C-alpha cells in the first residue's frame, strides 16, 4: 500500500517536472519567434497561437491522466519530452541565426590611433617617450588623428613637444626623415599608406614600429529611414583591408567603392563603381577641399558617405563594409563562382604577396575559388615586373577593376540560389558576420528575407541576374595631373564630367522613385547586330568642374595679370631686378602650376623689372589692375 502511494506520488512529481519543461520550451519558442520581426508575420502569429493552444491542451491532458490514473501516462510523458526537446532545438537555431545577424549590425564605429616611431629608436613603449617631438593631425574633427592622440597625451602625461600637421603624408614623411621623432597615425596605418600614390611608403612596416595603440568607440546616429526595406533604398559597399579574417579593427581604405540602389517593387538594381582617384570635394576636409575620393576613407565611413552624397546628390541609406579576406572564405564556402574573366592576369594573394603566392587566372568562363575571385576584384595593374607577357596583356586600370568587381558580385548572387543545406547557410552566416559590418538594424537585415523570398519564388530555377534588373552605371571623366600640397607632387586624378554625373544621378533617382522616367518613343533594332548592354554615363562628356592654375612663368606681366583676373585670383606682383628672363616677364609664381584654382585664394608673381619703379607708377598700376596687388622690391 505504501509502495503504491509512493509510485503515485512519483508520477505526480514526474508529470509536474515534464509539464514545467514543456512550459519553458514553449515560452522560449515564443520568444524566439518574436525576434523574427517582419518575417512571415501571419504565419508566426498563427504558429504562436497554436503553441499556446497546444500548451493548454497538454495541461488539460495532464490533469486528466492524473485523476483517472490512466496507464498510458508513460507514453504521454515521453511524447511531452520529445515535443519539448523539439521546441528547444528549433528555438536554439532561431536564436543562433538572430545572434549571427545581430553581430553584423554596428551601432558604433571603432577608431584606433597608434603612436609609432622609427625602428632604430630606443623607445619600445609609451613610457619610454620622454624626449623628442610628437606629430599629429591639426584637424580637430579627425578622431584617430587628433582627438585620440590628445587624450593619450593627457592621460599618459606626456610632456614632449607636439607638432601639428595638415596631412598624414607630411607627418609620415617627416617621421621617416627624422624631422619629428614620433607620430600618431591610424591603427592600420601600414595597409592605409604603404601603397599610396606619389610617395614611397612601401617599406613603412619595416621602417617603423608601434609603441602604443588606443581604441575608441563612437556611437552612430540611429538609422530610422527604412524599417522593413519595402521602399527603394541605397547601399554603399566599401572594401576593407585586414591582416586577418575579422573586420573588427580593420581599416576602410577607400579602394573599393560600389553604390547600389534597389527597388523592391521592380527588383531593379543600379550598380555604380566609383573610381578611387575621382577628384571630388571631400566633405570632412577644410572648406570641402577637393581631392581623391579614396582619401575620404582616412576619416571613416561617415566622411565617405557625406562626400558621395554631396557630389552625386543622392542620399545613402546604408553602408556595408566588407573585409577583402572574408570574400575569399565566403566564395569558398559557396564552392566557388562562375565568372566570364575578361583577360588573363596575375595578382597578389589575399595577403598581398607575389612570388610563390601569385594568383594566375586565364581569360574566359572560369570557375573561381575565393583567392582567384578576390584577385580579379583587386586587379588594376598589369604587374609586368612580376609575371610573363601571357598574363599582362590588355588594359588595366581602376575602371576595369570596378567592372570586375561588378562581375564578381553578380556571380556571387547567382551562386546563392544553389544553397541546399542548413550547414552551408550557417557557415555563410558565420563568415558574413565576421567579415561584414553595416549600419542596418537587425530588423532591417531580417526584412531582406522577404525580398529574397520574392526573388526565389519568381526565379524558378533561372539565373538571378535574369530576374533582377542590373543597370550598370559609369562615371566618365578625364585624366589630369593636379598639384597636391600634401605631397608636393602633381598627382594623377580622375576629373569627372558633369554630364556623366548628371546621367548617373538621374538613373539612380528614377530607380529610387524620386524622379519619373522619360518615356522612350522611338526604338531601333537590327537583328544582324549583337545587342550590347547600355552602360549609363560611360559615353557622356562635356565640361568638368576643375580649372587648373596655368603656368605663368615666361609670360608678359600684363598677360599674366589678365589670366589671373579672368580666373578670379587676387594677384600680387613682386618686382626683382635680376633673374633669367626677359624684362617684364614672370620669373616665379608662389603656387605651383596645375593646382586646382578653387584652392587658390591669392597668388604672388615675381616679375623681372630692370628699372626701379617709383611710388607714383606703383599707385597707377594698382588702380589699373582690379583684384591685383603690385609690390616693388629690389632683389639681387
Give pLDDT tens digits for 543-588. 777 888 889 999 999 999 999 988 889 899 999 988 888 899 999 9
Q: Hunting for cell 577608431 — which residue is that? A: 111
Residue 251: pLDDT band with limits 50, 70, 90: low
301-323 burial, b at 16+ Cβ within 10 Å, e below that, comes to: bbbbbbbbeebbebebbbbbbbb
Residue 4: pLDDT band with limits 50, 70, 90: very low
pLDDT at 219: 72
Mean pLDDT of the chain: 82
Q: Where are the beta strands (DSSP E) in 229-375?
A: 233-241, 251-263, 268-273, 279-281, 290-292, 318-323, 337-341, 345-347, 359-361, 364-368
Stretch 4-32: mean pLDDT, rounded? 76
CB 386 within 8 A of CB 358: yes
pLDDT at 115: 96
Residue 126: pLDDT band with limits 50, 70, 90: very high
In the three-class reduction of DSSP (H, G, I as helix; E, B as strand; rest coil), residue 395 is classed as coil
pLDDT at 529: 59
Q: Which of 51-60, 90-99, 106-115, 497-506 has the lowest mean pLDDT?
A: 106-115
Residue 220: pLDDT band with limits 50, 70, 90: low
Half-sphere exposure of 156 (CA within 13 A, CB side): 20
CB 255 within 8 A of CB 239: yes
- In the predicted model, is pLDDT for residue 615 greater than 60? no
In the three-class reduction of DSSP (H, G, I as helix; E, B as strand; rest coil), residue 493 is classed as strand
CB 38 within 8 A of CB 446: yes
CB 152 within 8 A of CB 187: no
Of 331, 411, 412, 413, give the one whose Cα is nearest residue 372. 331
More confident residue, 285 or 586: 586
DSSP character string of 302-331: HHHHHHHHHHH-----EEEEEEHHHHHHHH
Residue 533: pLDDT band with limits 50, 70, 90: low
Residues 6+ apart with CB under 8 A from 13: none
Checking DSSP bridges between strand 108-118 and strand 182-186, what pairing results, if any?
A: antiparallel
Please give the distance of CA 511 from its chain centroid, rounded to a whole number. Answer: 22
Measured CA to CA, the distance from residue 425 to residue 40 in angstroms comes to 19
pLDDT at 72: 64
- pLDDT more than 90, % of the chain: 31
Stretch 4-19: mean pLDDT, rounded? 65
More confident residue, 203 or 218: 203
- In the predicted model, is pLDDT for residue 63 greater than 70? yes
pLDDT at 616: 42
Q: Residue 536 pairs with which residues in a beta bridge?
A: 473
pLDDT at 631: 42
Q: Residue 630 pairs with which residues in a beta bridge?
A: 573
pLDDT at 621: 41
184: cell is: 600618431
Measured CA to CA, the distance from residue 377 to residue 503 in angstroms comes to 25
Residue 9: pLDDT band with limits 50, 70, 90: low
Measured CA to CA, the distance from residue 295 to residue 288 in angstroms comes to 12
Q: Which is it for the CA torsion 603, 606, 611, 612, positive or negative?
A: positive
CB 128 within 8 A of CB 101: no
pLDDT at 286: 76
Stretch 469-486: mean pLDDT, rounded? 82
Go through the chain and tell me how many residues it has.
636
Checking DSSP bridges between strand 628-631 and strand 570-576, what pairing results, if any?
A: parallel
55-64, 264-273, 319-328: range with highest mean pLDDT = 264-273
pLDDT at 310: 94
Show the 3-state SS of 172-201. HHHHHHCCCCEEEEECCHHHHHCCCCCCCC
pLDDT at 467: 61
pLDDT at 463: 58
Q: Which of 170-184, 260-274, 292-306, 457-471 has the lowest mean pLDDT?
A: 457-471
Residue 440: pLDDT band with limits 50, 70, 90: confident
Q: Hunting for cell 598581398 — which residue is that? A: 352
Encode pLDDT of 374-413 as tens digits.
999 888 888 888 888 899 888 888 778 888 888 888 888 7
Residue 11: pLDDT band with limits 50, 70, 90: low
Stretch 52-56: mean pLDDT, rounded? 89
> pTM for this one?
0.75
Amino acid at each position: 500500500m505504501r509502495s503504491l502511494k509512493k509510485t503515485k506520488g512519483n508520477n505526480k512529481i514526474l508529470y509536474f517536472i515534464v509539464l514545467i519543461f514543456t512550459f519553458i520550451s514553449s515560452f522560449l519558442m515564443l520568444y524566439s519567434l518574436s525576434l523574427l520581426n517582419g518575417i512571415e508575420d501571419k504565419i508566426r502569429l498563427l504558429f504562436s497561437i497554436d503553441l499556446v493552444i497546444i500548451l493548454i491542451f497538454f495541461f488539460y491532458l495532464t490533469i486528466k491522466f492524473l485523476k483517472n490514473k490512466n496507464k498510458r501516462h508513460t507514453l504521454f510523458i515521453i511524447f511531452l519530452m520529445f515535443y519539448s526537446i523539439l521546441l528547444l532545438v528549433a528555438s536554439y537555431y532561431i536564436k543562433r541565426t538572430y545572434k549571427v545577424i545581430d553581430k553584423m549590425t554596428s551601432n558604433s564605429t571603432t577608431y584606433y590611433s597608434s603612436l609609432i616611431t622609427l625602428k632604430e629608436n630606443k623607445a619600445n613603449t609609451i613610457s619610454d617617450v620622454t624626449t623628442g617631438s610628437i606629430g599629429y593631425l591639426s584637424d580637430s574633427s579627425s578622431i584617430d588623428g587628433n582627438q585620440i592622440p590628445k587624450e593619450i597625451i593627457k592621460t599618459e602625461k606626456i610632456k614632449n613637444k607636439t607638432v601639428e600637421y595638415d596631412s598624414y603624408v607630411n607627418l609620415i614623411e617627416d617621421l621617416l626623415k627624422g624631422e619629428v621623432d614620433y607620430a600618431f597615425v591610424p591603427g592600420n596605418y601600414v595597409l592605409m599608406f604603404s601603397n599610396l600614390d606619389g610617395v614611397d611608403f612601401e617599406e613603412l612596416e619595416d621602417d617603423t614600429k608601434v609603441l602604443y595603440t588606443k581604441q575608441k568607440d563612437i556611437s552612430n546616429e540611429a538609422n530610422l529611414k527604412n524599417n522593413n526595406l519595402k521602399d527603394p533604398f541605397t547601399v554603399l559597399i566599401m572594401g576593407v583591408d585586414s591582416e586577418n579574417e575579422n573586420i573588427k579593427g580593420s581599416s576602410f581604405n577607400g579602394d573599393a567603392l560600389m553604390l547600389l540602389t534597389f527597388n523592391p517593387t521592380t527588383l531593379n538594381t543600379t550598380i555604380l563603381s566609383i573610381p578611387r582617384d575621382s577628384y571630388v570635394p571631400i566633405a570632412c576636409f577644410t572648406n570641402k577641399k577637393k581631392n581623391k575620393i579614396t582619401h575620404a576613407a582616412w576619416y571613416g565611413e561617415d566622411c565617405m558617405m557625406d562626400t558621395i552624397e554631396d557630389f552625386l546628390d543622392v542620399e545613402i541609406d546604408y553602408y556595408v563594409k566588407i573585409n577583402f579576406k572574408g570574400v575569399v572564405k565566403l566564395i569558398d564556402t559557396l564552392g566557388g563562382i562562375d565568372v566570364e574573366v575578361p583577360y588573363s592576369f596575375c595578382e597578389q594573394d589575399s595577403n598581398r604577396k607575389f612570388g610563390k603566392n601569385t594568383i594566375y587566372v586565364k581569360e574566359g568562363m572560369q570557375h573561381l575559388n575565393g583567392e582567384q575571385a578576390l584577385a580579379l576584384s583587386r586587379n588594376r595593374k598589369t604587374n609586368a615586373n612580376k609575371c610573363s607577357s601571357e598574363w599582362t596583356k590588355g588594359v588595366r586600370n581602376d575602371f576595369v577593376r570596378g567592372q570586375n568587381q561588378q562581375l564578381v558580385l553578380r556571380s556571387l548572387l547567382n551562386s546563392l540560389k544553389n544553397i541546399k543545406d542548413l550547414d552551408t547557410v550557417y557557415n555563410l552566416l558565420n563568415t558574413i558576420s565576421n567579415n561584414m559590418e553595416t549600419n542596418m538594424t537587425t530588423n532591417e537585415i531580417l526584412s531582406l528575407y522577404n525580398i529574397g523570398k520574392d526573388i526565389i519564388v519568381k526565379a524558378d530555377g533561372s539565373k538571378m541576374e535574369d530576374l533582377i534588373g542590373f543597370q550598370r552605371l559609369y562615371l566618365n571623366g578625364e585624366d589630369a595631373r593636379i598639384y597636391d600640397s600634401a605631397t608636393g607632387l602633381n598627382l594623377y586624378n580622375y576629373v569627372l564630367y558633369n554630364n556623366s554625373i548628371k546621367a548617373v544621378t538621374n538613373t539612380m533617382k528614377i530607380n529610387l522613385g524620386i524622379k519619373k522616367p522619360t518615356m522612350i518613343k522611338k526604338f531601333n533594332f537590327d537583328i544582324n547586330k549583337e545587342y550590347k548592354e547600355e552602360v549609363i554615363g560611360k559615353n557622356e562628356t562635356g565640361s568638368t568642374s576643375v580649372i587648373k592654375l596655368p603656368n605663368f612663368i615666361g609670360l608678359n606681366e600684363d598677360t599674366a595679370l589678365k589670366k589671373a583676373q579672368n580666373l578670379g585670383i587676387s594677384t600680387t606682383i613682386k618686382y626683382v631686378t635680376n633673374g633669367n628672363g626677359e624684362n617684364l616677364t614672370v620669373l616665379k609664381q608662389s603656387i605651383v602650376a596645375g593646382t586646382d584654382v578653387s584652392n587658390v585664394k591669392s597668388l604672388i608673381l615675381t616679375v623681372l623689372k630692370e628699372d626701379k619703379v617709383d611710388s607714383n607708377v606703383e599707385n597707377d598700376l594698382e588702380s589699373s589692375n582690379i583684384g591685383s596687388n603690385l609690390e616693388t622690391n629690389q632683389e639681387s
